[in-house]
């Protein structure tokens, strides 16, 4: 069973890193998700569903409070003025449309800051889509959760049948905590931080200690390897590898792709590779086509990929990931060869000794001046993430969720491309910095071509559905 985080706890180092980025709007860490529904959800049931969900997931009723004198990270505390109705909105489109008509709302949500005096999330029902359909646009700050944590949260706010799922009595309101004194706040944080370091570091120290007795040479090599590995994770970068996607701004453009899950999975199997390998190869081939359209031949691009560290015993929400930054090849034209190269590179980074030390790595980055951290992040060429979604149909207030599109933040990179599986679909959200990618339709066309190359490995031609924001097409 997944447990809930405790009220009054300080932000973890990974959560704090997401929060500190807000000082630079270019690094804004807003996650936006779109649930495309087969019908308009019932308002009363939707409010009741969210009421239950925010009680089951207390972080959705908590706000951030700065610690006294700024000596420690901010704390999550229950909002004594929590008003569910403020977080829920409902609008209607002026004209019927599909996902493309919803994307301008996604774009606006991704570009706008949160009210820092309230819990960091909003949900908007969008009525008036074609064929009686609707959508729900959910906006959440990244400090609340990573991708897999977001799926856990969503599972507390959906039904598994159209008529509803019996979840028993409504959970009680979480108790409100009393504010901590400055001394208690500081002491509590240092003790909890030490406890976390002990909890996560002692097993490694014990293994190293035992190894030093039985094999001192191997023990010394392990310590050296871990130190070098940590240095690779925090090593600064000062230039983009792309000569095309170089600009950075606060303006975002969004698009979405939809392709069959089985087709992408089959392409991976045909190459003796995984779904994730096929996904990343599709991105790389697409970016190769994009750079070729701009007359640029690029050997490799620098990517950031999250490596999940989430355990079953971890609390819902929060960030349980390590962000790995490494170069991926762009000079491989064959999709099978690209999948194999991706597999070797990603596997080597997953096996890095420093991967379990996410809090320590984030802690190192958090002590850097904000400008230095921004300088590192703004030289990443792209972010990519693959989030496993629901294999079964889900319902929200009587409406079936047909698709679920994730739009993760660019956090300084040129573009973030995130895949979330939903039933038999791969829902891919594209969030691009307009200064880096002023011609998003061209990038989307290139990605469609790249994924087409990969899908052909599976032996079938597959139609890829494309959705573009009206604002995007108007600017190009």
Residues recognised as catalytic:
142
CA distance 256 to 443: 12
Instruction: Please count the other Cβ atoms lying within 10 Å of the Cβ belonging to residue 236.
Output: 11
User: What distance lies between CA 356 and its chain's CA centroid?
Assistant: 19
Q: Which of 412, 418, 416, 442 is nearest to 431 (CA)?
A: 416
Q: What is the enclosing helix (H) or strand (E) of 43?
A: helix 43-56
What does the alpha-carbon distance between residue 237 and residue 249 come to, in Å, rounded to a whole number?
Answer: 19
Contact 421, 56 (CB under 8 A): no
Q: Taking the mean position of all CA atoms in its chain, how far away is CA 169?
A: 32
Residue pair 29/18 in contact (Cβ under 8 Å)? The answer is: yes
Which tokens in the block code for residue 70? 């700024």
* Residue with tokens 């697409």, as numbered in its chain: 286
Q: Which H or E element spans position 469?
A: none
Sheet holding 321-329, edge to edge: 321-329, 300-308, 382-387, 415-422, 425-433, 252-260, 465-468
Q: Which residue has the tokens 């701009």?
A: 294
Q: How many CA atoms lie within 13 A of 309 on its CB side?
A: 18
* Alpha carbon distance 4, 54 (integer Å): 11
Token pair, residue 21, equals: 């980025």
Read out DSSP for 279-305? HHHHHHHHHHHHHHHTT---SEEEEEE
Instruction: Tell how far CA 121 is from the center of its chain.
Output: 15
**Residue 18 in tokens:** 């997401």
Q: How many CA atoms lie within 13 A of 469 on its CB side?
A: 23
Q: In the numeric block, which tokens belong to residue 358?
A: 């996410």
Residue with tokens 């170069």: 327
Q: Which residues pair with 302 in a beta bridge?
A: 327
Q: Which two tokens stand for residue 348?
A: 């080597």
User: H or E stretch including 125?
Assistant: strand 121-127
| Region for 317 from its dihedrals, namely left if φ exceeds 0, alpha if ψ lies in -120 to 50, beta otherwise | left
Of 142, 154, 134, 138, which is closest to residue 388 (Cα–Cα)?
Answer: 154
């Amino acid at each position: 069973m997944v447990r809930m985080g405790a009220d009054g706890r300080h932000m973890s180092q990974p959560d704090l890193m997401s929060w500190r980025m807000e000082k630079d709007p270019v690094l804004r860490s807003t996650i936006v998700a779109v649930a495309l529904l087969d019908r308009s959800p019932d308002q009363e049931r939707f409010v009741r569903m969210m009421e239950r969900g925010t009680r089951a997931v207390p972080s959705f009723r908590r706000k951030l409070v700065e610690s006294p004198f700024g000596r420690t990270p901010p704390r999550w505390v229950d909002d004594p003025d929590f008003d569910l109705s403020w977080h829920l909105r409902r609008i209607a489109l002026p004209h019927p449309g599909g996902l493309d008509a919803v994307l301008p709302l996604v774009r606006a949500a991704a570009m706008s800051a949160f009210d820092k005096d309230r819990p960091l999330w909003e949900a908007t029902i969008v009525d008036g889509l074609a064929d009686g359909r609707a959508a729900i646009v959910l906006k959440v700050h990244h400090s609340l959760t990573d991708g897999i944590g977001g799926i856990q949260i969503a599972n507390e706010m959906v039904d598994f049948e159209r008529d509803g799922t019996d979840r028993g009595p409504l959970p009680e309101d979480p108790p409100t905590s009393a504010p901590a004194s400055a001394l208690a706040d500081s002491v509590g944080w240092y003790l909890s931080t030490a406890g976390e370091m002990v909890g996560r570091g002692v097993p490694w120290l014990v293994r190293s200690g035992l190894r030093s007795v039985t094999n001192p040479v191997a023990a010394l090599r392990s310590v050296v390897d871990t130190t070098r590995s940590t240095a690779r994770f925090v090593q600064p970068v000062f230039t983009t590898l792309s000569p095309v996607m170089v600009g950075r701004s606060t303006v975002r453009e969004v698009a979405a792709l939809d392709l069959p899950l089985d087709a992408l999975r089959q392409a991976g199997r045909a190459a003796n590779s995984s779904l994730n390998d096929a996904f990343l190869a599709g991105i790389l081939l697409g970016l190769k086509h994009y750079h070729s359209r701009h007359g640029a031949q690029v050997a490799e691009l620098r990517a950031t990929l999250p490596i999940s560290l989430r355990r079953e015993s971890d609390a819902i929400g929060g960030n349980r990931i390590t962000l790995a930054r490494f170069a991926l090849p762009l000079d491989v034209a064959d999709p099978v060869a690209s999948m194999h190269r991706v597999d070797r590179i990603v596997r080597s980074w997953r096996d890095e000794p420093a991967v379990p030390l996410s809090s320590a790595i984030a802690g190192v980055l958090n002590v850097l001046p904000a400008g230095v951290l921004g300088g590192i992040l703004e030289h990443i060429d792209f972010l990519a993430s693959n989030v496993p979604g629901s294999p079964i149909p889900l319902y929200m207030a009587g409406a079936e969720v047909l698709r679920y599109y994730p739009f993760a933040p660019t956090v300084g990179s040129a573009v973030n491309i995130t895949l979330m599986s939903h039933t038999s679909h791969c829902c891919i959200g594209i969030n691009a910095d307009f200064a880096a990618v002023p011609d998003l339709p061209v990038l989307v066309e290139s990605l469609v071509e790249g994924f087409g190359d990969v899908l052909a490995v599976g032996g079938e031609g597959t139609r890829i559905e494309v959705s573009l924001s009206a604002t995007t097409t108007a600017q190009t």
